[in-house]
Chain A
Amino acid sequence: MMRLRIIRGVVFGGLAVLGLGLFRVQVLQGPMYRAMGEQNRIRLIPMEAFRGKVVDRAKRLLATNRVSYDVVATPEDVTPPVFPLLARLLEISESEIRKRMSAPREYPFAPALIKPDIPREKVFNLEEMKPDLPGVSIQISGIRYYPYHTTASHLIGYIGKISEREYAALPRDRYGMNSLLGRLGIEKIYDDSLRGWRGGRQIEVDAQGNFVRVLSEKKAQPGSDLTLTLDLDFQQKIEQMLVDKRASVVVLDLDSEGLLALASSPAFDPNIFVAPGHSQERLDILRDKSSPMLDRGTGSAYPPGSIFKLVTAMAALERGKITPETRLFCPGYYKLGKRVFHCWDADGHGSLNLYEAIERSCNAYFYQLGARLAPEDIAYYARQFGLGDVMRLEVTDMTPGLVPDRVWKEKHAHEAWYAGDTLSFAIGQSYLLTSPIQILRLSAIIAKNGQVVEPRLVLPDADSEESRPEKKRVAVSEANIKVIQKAMLNVVQSNKGTGQFARVNFDKMAAKTGTAQAPPLQAHSWMTGFFPYDKPRIAFVVFVEHGGPGGITAAKIVNDTIKLWNSIYGTGVA
């Protein structure tokens, strides 16, 4: 049998090859390998990649790396007298040093981290003492640094040490035992591209552990840099306006759909999460009652109040319940059976058309629209504008908010939907919850005549631009959107409008105020809109938690924001 002979040949030939190979490695090269082995001459030094930088639209650094001098020690080379000496030099206890040295390491003879980020003069001290410190050396590494501290901290986020579970599950060529991972914001979402590829060196050392030569080396590849749409200067100045408030301001560039500013106050300094020490500050931040870690612009939802009347108006127009000229009467209240729903103006607004009702934010008018609409109608148009859904934005922990309807209420409140619920819904109260960024998007879509807007923090590469989906429209006719735009213009520009405090003298603004009841505390203060009215370039939202009337607190901030924007981007008319 020819074939059996071939199989036999392969099998015994293979065993012979193994035998010869082993003879070469063990007998011929044996002494060489024995020498290498006995002195454990080969060591592996992993090299972490430098993390990519994050910059604003003008390439100003938002997140970067600074040099950190770390004291490391190879426990196998350390002699007993080293411990007290090192403890004295570094001002830490001997037992702490021992603990650090026995921490798990990635490879045998890998240096253990004793103390990271020591001051430069300590480095010199240590280098002078080097002969008395076998096994101890200084390693230079990069430490993440956020030069503007609290500015845009919610968006940029921070990085943190890899957990044991993550280390076990992630690939070795990118994640080491001491690697840092994005934990929040851009640092988390873009971790994959910011993080580079680790490298390493196999080095040969002599019997005393001194470096002899590099046997092989793989260079670490630094991560890619990332450019945000934010304007650092603009963002910083807006944040200054919000000091001591619990508030958020978001400004969107309508042409690029990039966010120019997304401020949330109070903020935190991400440096305390990445630099060694600071554990007390970390605890303080986490325990702070004003929740500085919370991004009020995207991560938290509130009742929108009267701003929502824009949506109710569009629902009523689209469903043919009214025309813009339909006049309804406001006696200062609206009666539903025995219940009385009050307008904010107890004297009543009298007879109003839709423009006037939005301009003066008349509740009674919108109660009457609520009575004509089913809650599903209002919910349908709310969802058209992305309310009740998580937005596709490069931000972590975004809230979907809540758009209620009959089904939702029965399921979650175990209660039937009452006619009164629809009335509250129509003026933006009841169960409805929206985040400021969602309200910003509502204004942006209105400013763009109904074209869907997807706000972004990172602009896509030029070459992937074509893969973007076609521009969609919301299910509201352009004519009806124009009606809303005109009504919003009156809110600011008319002398009876609720948003007059926002008015600026260099161009026309369109907006809507909101004062959302939040008993027992003061109402939440809202204002959103776009600017300039004729050729909109930005959309904005201002939200102040328990800030009082939207037409006062929020409108003043809008005024400041628009002036600020104009001083940077405006045509110089002012």
Chain B
Amino acid sequence: MARAWHRDTYWPFVISFAGLLGLGLLFVFSASHYDPAHYEMRQIFWVAVALFFFAAGFLLGYRTFLGFSRLFYAAIILMLLYVLAVSKARLGAQRWIEIGPLALQPSEFAKLAVLLFLTDYLGGRPIFEKEHSTLLGAVMLTGIPMLLILKQPDLGTALVLVSMAIAMLFYWGLKYRYFIFSILGFCLTAPLIWAGLKDYQRNRIMVFLNPERDPLGAGYTAVQSKIAIGSGGLLGKGFLHGTQTQLKFVPEHHTDFIFCVFGEEMGFAGAAVLLLCYGVLFYSILRILEHTTDVKARLLAVGLLAMLFSQVFINIGMSFGLMPITGITLPLFSYGGSSLVSTALGLGMVLSIHKERSIF
């Protein structure tokens, strides 16, 4: 049994996965140890749940989950609709479904649902037949949950869905001209859409692109976040010794802005280690992908890679002003059960691909 585990496991993958979870836990603690809500205790519980789902993904294998993909997708759409209905009734944005003490965030699971359904869908349709209708199906399949998530409004998760779908279509083999036409089409229609917007809508977009325009809201966070990370310097201020983030200059520092805490306390050296961990994880996913011949397995791996990479890039990028600020978690690192569990389940499935690898 132990030998089988050893043989079926791709060790760099598991080590980087465990390393990220462990580091995440430490810094959720750092971000919230003075907070009476004690997110770190809850995060320990969620890490345990996530490990369970990781094992389930690995042991049951990705094929089992692909078989349920349609059902899962339908359930997620219903949950997203429910969330919208509730937030309309409460007159405020709401992204959670509360079940007893737990709060589920359906948009996190929606990423996984789209990934599975799109894998099953594209994997069952060869590129040389009916390229148009397949493309249309894929766009709709991604578009429906994306619109529901945009409506929440959760721009970050919607962006992740788009990057994931683009990466999968690209890898599936969609002709280059489709991508070129899409980009051209977007560039051409953008001015028209812009002209049709109301003043306040334009203002929102301008602030989104350039937070300095709004020193009260996003701009404030952007500057404070940059100060926190920059003041970490090369070696950081030491674990639990961050001043900016601990003083709550940066909001949401146990979730979306966890990297601020990390960057301030561990400095550039720590940040480089963290990037290396993600690099190893991404490299492992690519290696696993190269050793399988199953089209669906490959699509699944590419989709998950795109999902994780876009989150890492947007999250870390926004914390030092490279990307605009949107609410998005740092995978395996930020506080949050839904994000942790869905990411771990996805990674478990990818690792199960490794079991069936062809040796060459």
Contacts and interface: CB of A to CB of B under 8 A. Distances in A.
Interface of A: 3-4, 6-8, 10-12, 14-15, 17-19, 21-23, 25-27, 29-34, 36-38, 40, 42, 44, 46, 107-108, 168-169, 172-173, 198-202, 215-218
Nearest to B272: A19
Contacts of A173: 214, 216-217
Interface string B202-236: 00000000001111110110011011111111100
A30 B233 contact: yes
Nearest to A199: B216
Interface residues of B, number: 53
B248 A26 contact: no
Contacts of A201: 215
A37 B279 contact: no
B234 A37 contact: no
A202 B223 contact: yes
B275 interface: yes
B305 A33 contact: no
21 contacts: A3-B170, A6-B170, A7-B305, A14-B313, A15-B279, A18-B275, A18-B316, A21-B322, A22-B229, A22-B271, A22-B272, A22-B320, A25-B229, A30-B232, A33-B226, A33-B227, A34-B233, A37-B227, A107-B220, A218-B213, A218-B214
Interface string B261-290: 001000110011001001100100010011
Given A18-B313, A26-B268, A42-B223, A31 B233 contact: yes
B317 A21 contact: yes
Nearest to A16: B275
Given A26-B271, A42-B227, A11 B305 contact: yes
B91 A38 contact: no
A7 B304 CA distance: 12
Nearest to A37: B231
Contacts of A18: 275, 312-313, 316-317, 322
A198 B288 CA distance: 53
Interface in B245-268: 247-249, 263, 267-268
Contacts of A200: 215-216
B26 interface: no
A146 to B, nearest CB: 29
Nearest to B283: A12
A78 B302 CA distance: 56
Contacts of A38: 231, 243
Contacts of A6: 170
Q: Chain A's interface: helix, strand, loop or mixed, by majority?
A: helix
Given A22-B271, A44-B220, A37 B215 contact: no
Given A7-B286, A18-B317, A168-B92, 5 more contacts: A7-B167, A14-B309, A19-B272, A22-B272, A34-B231
Given A11-B305, A25-B320, A216 B212 contact: yes
B244 interface: yes
Contact of B290 (A4, A30, A215): A4
A156 to B, nearest CB: 26
A229 B290 CA distance: 77
Contact of B219 (A21, A108, A199, A216): A216
A17 B316 CA distance: 11
Contacts of B243: 37-38
Contacts of A14: 309, 313
A18 to B, nearest CB: 5
Given A11-B309, A33-B227, A38-B231, A172 B217 contact: yes
A91 B214 CA distance: 38
Nearest to B233: A30
B137 interface: no
Contacts of B248: 108
B171 interface: yes
Nearest to A19: B275
A46 B220 CA distance: 11
B67 interface: no
A42 B224 contact: yes
A217 B215 contact: yes
Nearest to B207: A173
A42 B217 CA distance: 14
A198 B220 CA distance: 14
A14 B171 CA distance: 18
A298 to B, nearest CB: 27
Contact of A216 (B215, B227, B233, B278): B215
B275 A15 contact: yes
A18 B323 CA distance: 11
Contact of B92 (A4, A15, A169): A169
Contacts of A4: 171, 286, 289-290
B126 interface: no
A14 to B, nearest CB: 5
Please provide the 3 A-B residue pairs with the shortest distance between their CB atoms, ordered closest to farther: A33-B230, A37-B231, A30-B233
A34 B213 contact: no
B317 A25 contact: no
Contacts of B213: 218
Contacts of A169: 91-92
Contact of B268 (A7, A8, A22, A34): A22
B305 A108 contact: no
A26 B226 CA distance: 9
A22 B219 contact: no
B173 interface: yes
A11 B282 contact: yes
Interface in B291-328: 302, 305-306, 309, 312-313, 316-317, 320-322
